Structure 1
Amino acid sequence: MSHPDQIYTRNTLLGALSANDLALLKPHFCRVDIAREDVLVHADKPVEHVYFLDQGVASIVAAIGSHRPTEVGIFGRDGVSATCLLLGSDRSPHQTFIQVGSGTALRIDTAPYLEAVRASETLRLTLLRFVQTMLVQAAHSTATNAHHRIEARLARWLLMCHDRVDGDEIAITHDFLGLMIAAERSGVTVSLHILEGAGMIRAKRGRVIIRDREMLCELAGDSYGVPEAQYRHLIGPMGRDMDEG
């Protein structure tokens, strides 16, 4: 853990802040290591820390009764954890954990984070814009799971994850993929074979390698792109267009 004097971050949400707004947060940041399955937000417990990721992909999951959890949101270096704090709640019914990759994040305690948000209307507005993108993403995920086949849902999730990682390799198991796209493991396995047979991906034990992003976009169709466009409209570049820019 370190307390950086100079803030270097690849987090695009922080990059969208003004110098004055970033200065409100900067003294309270510490850089921490994150690894797969690390929990950032515990369900139904007061949020103690807020994380701005530099690497890795976090999943927000909802659990209903004895049913297995289902992913309801995903973010990486495009966002921040614990959006419930921005909406007046000190806790969330949903758990957030690192699902892909490892690396570092800038962490800030809840109290100084909320103090900064209260002190600056422009900071609050920028962070609320991110909340809006997550609401759009969750709504689009619901529609996608209701109307699209598993192959399209898988293509969409791989594209969303590809937007948030370096390179073309995504470390993920079949069981985790099932949780992410609300599908049984057997359905995920069959869908991976279909995508691999078409040359879109290469599936290996515990990882998926993206081979043809354009074909994945065609398969995902209108299930992919709306939340991403919302982010670009409200906040700035994200995903693969950051590399192009």
Structure 2
Amino acid sequence: MKNGAKAAIHRRNRLLAALEPDDYSWLEPHLEIVDLPRGKVIYQSGETIRHTYFPHDAVVSLVTVLQNGGSVEMAVFGKESVLGFVSALVTRQSFGRYITQISGKASRVALDRLSDAIDQRPKIRRVLFRYTEALLAQTLQTVACNAVHGVEARCCRAILSTHDRTDKDDIPLTHETLAEMLGVQRSTVSSVTSALQRMGLISQGRGTIRITDRAGLEETACECYHAIHQSFERLLPAGHKRTEPSASSRLTPAKHRNTVA
């Protein structure tokens, strides 16, 4: 693959796209493109982190695994992110389990090389540290969201955030994936998504969800979706631009906003 083509692929990640040309040129030789299939465990809790990943279209969750075998999502990473970086700032041990929720590609770089970049390239350091602040804001907002908002609102937030990260009309979200992201039973997700479909906000296919009323879905989502998005806009203005909804998603909002208990 020619260097120009590789650069275009690497820059599908918003952080890499935000780098100045000379900083990107310094880092690019150390980047490699890798596949992240759904269900791939990138790191287990406590495992030593040797590489960091800049997702392109993959979506990766950082989850904590409970003693009863259940799991709770602590953070999510997509094309606006780098995963493994924050965990490795001090101990180089993973905070939890990094697992791919939606398959795709990523640019991978050895942690030692990224550490060199932080030491030697002030503008790269600035981008990564601003992202770290945005990630902290996302994590804290998600904690508050899980504590006070209902499943329906949180489900809408998860669907919208995944749509932003994949740029696909048909979002490859299964009920099982949504349940893992929200920390609820699969049957609960099925009830919620069925209600959202009746409201005209989404349509469901085999293992996919299509947003049919983006404005209506944003109205039904909790405030956390906009709060998290605004944090990334403020801290990474050149590296996190929300994709405009596709024509199929820009439909007239549904007239009735029924909610599920």
TM-score by length of 2: 0.85
Match of 2:123 in 1: 122
- Maintained 8 Å contact 2:201/2:212: yes
User: Does the CA-based 8 Å contact 1:25-1:116 persist in structure 2?
Assistant: yes
Output one character per residue of 1:46-65: Cα deviation in whole Å (capped at 9) or x when no partner.
11211111212111111232
Question: Match of 1:192, as an amino acid?
Answer: T
What's the secondary structure of 2:16's corresponding residue?
A: helix
Q: Structure 1: any 5+ residue segments left out of the alignment? A: none
Question: Contact 1:41–1:81 (CA<8 Å) still a contact in 2?
Answer: no
Measure, in 2, the Cα distance between the counterparts of 1:242 and 1:125. Answer: 30
Distance 1:55 1:196 in 2: 25
Residue aligning to 1:227: 228
Question: Is the contact between residue 178 and residue 188 of structure 1 (CA under 8 Å) also seen in structure 2?
Answer: yes
What SS is found at the alignment partner of 2:7?
Answer: coil
- The unaligned stretches of length 5 or more in structure 2 are 247-261
Within 5 Å, which residues of 2 pair with 1:62-81?
Answer: 62-81=64-83
Cα distance in 2 for partners of 1:218, 1:226 equals 13
What percentage of aligned pairs have identical amino acids? Answer: 29
**Is 1:238 paired with 2:206?**
no
Q: Retained in 1: the 8 A contact 2:62–2:74?
A: yes
Cα deviation for residue 40 of structure 1 reads 2.8
| Higher deviation after alignment, 172-181 or 79-88 | 79-88
Change over 3 Å in CA distance of 1:134–1:3 after alignment to 2:
farther
Give the match's secondary structure for 1:87: coil
**Separation in structure 2 between the aligned mates of residue 160 and residue 35 of structure 1, nearest angstrom:** 19
Aligned residues: 242
Q: How does 1:47-126 map to 2 (within 5 A)?
A: 47-85=49-87, 87-102=89-104, 104-126=105-127
Cα RMSD of the aligned pairs, angstroms, is 2.1
Q: Report the AA paired with residue 62 of structure 1.
A: T
What is the match of residue 7 of structure 2? 7
| Change in 2 beyond 3 A, CA 1:214/1:183 | same
Distance 1:202 1:97 in 2: 26
- Give the aligned partner of residue 155 of structure 2: 154
Partner of 1:201: 202
Once the two structures are TM-superposed, the CA of residue 215 in structure 1 deviates from its matched residue by 0.7
- Secondary structure class of the residue paired with 1:145: helix
- Check whether the contact 1:3–1:30 (CA below 8 A) recurs between aligned residues: no
| Distance change (3 Å), C-alpha of 1:216 and 1:152 | same
Distance in 2, matches of 1:200 and 1:241, equals 17
Q: Deviations over 1:145-172 (max 9, x none)?
A: 1111111010000011011112221222
Q: Does 1:211 align with 2:204?
A: no
1:174-193 → structure 2 map (5 Å cutoff): 174-193=175-194
Deviation at 1:95, TM superposition (A): 1.5
Match of 1:44 among 41, 46, 56: 46
Corresponding residue SS for 1:79? coil
Per-residue Cα deviation, 1:185-210 (whole angstroms, up to 9, x for no partner): 22111101110100111123322111
Q: Is it true that 1:134 corresponds to 2:159 in the alignment?
A: no
CA shift for structure 1 position 24: 2.5
Could you say what secondary structure the match of 1:84 adopts? coil
Q: Contact 1:170–1:209 (CA<8 Å) still a contact in 2?
A: yes
CA distance in 2, matches of 1:239, 1:185: 29
| Shift of residue 3, structure 1, vs aligned partner | 8.8
Query: Separation in 1 of the partners of 2:174 and 2:233?
Result: 30
SS of structure 1 residue aligned to 2:93:
coil
Query: Residue 46 of structure 2: SS of its match in structure 1?
Result: coil
User: How far has the Cα of 1:85 moved from its partner?
Assistant: 4.9
* Cα distance in 2 between the residues matched to 1:242 and 1:149: 25
